[in-house]
Amino acid sequence: MSVTKLGVLQTNFTNSSFTTKQANILGISSRMLSHLVKNGQLERIGRGLYIFPNFDTEKDFQFHQIALVAKSIKSSVICVISALNYWGLTEELEREHWLAIPNNFPTPKSIDNAKYIRPRDLEIGVISRVIAEQEVRITTPERSICEAFKYLSEESALSSLRAYLDQDEDQVDLIHLLDTASKLKSKKVIEIIQDVAIATAKGYPKLNRDTFRALTKWNQKQREKKHGG
């Protein structure tokens, strides 16, 4: 009987995760799922979430682990370094899976190597996206940049912003970035963009990465002096 039930699951979910509810709709009980897990024929990766042991995907293969982790934690959002990595906006290694969770959620204890943040807002700059065949929530490139300035070193944040601005024109949306920064109160992002815009308007040549960082640091020191005075 278990072979028949297993076959039903394999037919429907060979290379994707599935929930207890989805299995129940196919006539497979929670008890049967537990039996298959115990026998090593299924893996339980989160509360009510399962995959087959040989789960793999060539599409977005490097992101399938973070996608599965995000899928297993209700209402979570892939963010900061994990999101920047996905959007190709950082060279930092993803040593931990970065996830944003609601303030009233307990910290998940079943996931190793994860870092959680609890931002006040989990809607602004958050989209649903299919990654490694899993539908998950992730911060947009623009919100990811804003959060980099909050949670990462200034050097890392500046590097990510520079990578964003260095993209093809159709991938850069300054208005969206400024709107997102304004809503999230990311003043530093707005100040930097304004500095770059002024320089561009005056016909200055495009800044290289080192010059960009130097200019930003200089501008920041001038603002600090002004406010301090």
Q: Could you read off the pLDDT of 19-63 as tens digits, one per residue?
A: 888 888 888 888 888 888 888 888 876 667 787 877 665 455 578
Identify each DSSP E strand in 55-168 by its residue range: 77-78, 97-100, 114-117, 126-131, 134-139
What confidence score (pLDDT) does residue 157 get? Answer: 92
DSSP 105: S
**CB contact at 8 A, 46 and 30:** no
Structure tokens at 175: 């208005």
What confidence score (pLDDT) does residue 47 get? Answer: 64
What confidence score (pLDDT) does residue 117 get? Answer: 95
Taking CA atoms, 15 is separated from 20, 31, 42, 72, 192, in Å, by: 16, 22, 12, 16, 44
**CB contact at 8 A, 193 and 162:** no
Taking CA atoms, 80 is separated from 73, 100, 151, 167, 202, in Å, by: 17, 9, 8, 19, 33
Whole-angstrom Cα Rg for the chain = 22
DSSP 139: E
Distance CA 204, CA 196 (A): 10
Helix (H) or strand (E) holding 49: strand 49-51
The closest alpha carbon to 3, from 30, 41, 37, belongs to: 41
Identify the sign of the CA torsion 107, 130, 61, 81: negative
What confidence score (pLDDT) does residue 3 get? Answer: 52
What confidence score (pLDDT) does residue 1 get? Answer: 42
User: Which amino acid is present at 191?
Assistant: E
- Give pLDDT < 70 ranges for the chain: 1-3, 14-16, 45-47, 55-61, 110, 204-207, 228-229
What confidence score (pLDDT) does residue 79 get? Answer: 97
Contacts of 152 (CB under 8 A, 6+ apart): 80, 81, 92, 160
What confidence score (pLDDT) does residue 129 get? Answer: 92
